[in-house]
Amino acid sequence: MQKNPYIQDVLKSKLLRVVLQSKDLAQLGDFLVNFIYSTVRIAFRGKHGGVHVWDSCLRDAMEIANLRSVLGKRTKPDKVADAGEALVAYAYYTELMTLDEMIEFVEEILDYNRLSNRIEEKEMCTEVFATLFTKIYLLANKQSRFIHENN
């Protein structure tokens, strides 16, 4: 895969905070998160299954995945959601997980029965992305990709 020259420094960073705060990765991650979730929903519902993943789901997922604290207490909620998207983009661009692997992972843990109720779907979406964020973080830790900074 051709590497994007604008995000090379971020991708090489050993600090999780730098990755999570990358606006460029967040923009790429926004597309990837929506693509992953929509792909899984379309497989279940057909052509009308696409959706934009709610920022509130991503924000809450970062909290559940215990990654919210990396950003600092004063980080605005929309930036917390962006950080989750940046993490997905990081996993994709560094080949920590392929797009297919992320889609399959989400497909395995998604509860299709909860897609018919909007409130339940939002809760399930939060749980799914919390699990994906945790998996990405654990894979990165296993490969010693991040050093742990003291705040």
Q: Tokens representing 47?
A: 């052509």
pTM: 0.90
Beta carbons within 8 Å of 109's beta carbon, 6+ residues apart: 127, 128, 131
CATH of 15-141, one of 1.10.1520.20, 1.10.8.420, 3.40.50.920, 1.10.4190.10: 1.10.1520.20
pLDDT in tens, 27-49: 999 999 999 999 988 877 665 66
Rounded distance, CA 31 to CA 17, Å?
Answer: 21
Read off the pLDDT of residues 112-150 as tens digits, 9 standing for 90 and up: 888 888 899 999 999 999 999 999 999 999 999 888 665
At residue 110, the 3 state secondary structure works out as coil
Backbone conformation region of residue 139, classed left if phi is above 0, alpha if psi is from -120 to 50, else beta: alpha
Q: According to the model, what pLDDT value does residue 148 have?
A: 66
Q: Of 11, 34, 27, give the one whose Cα is nearest residue 103.
A: 34
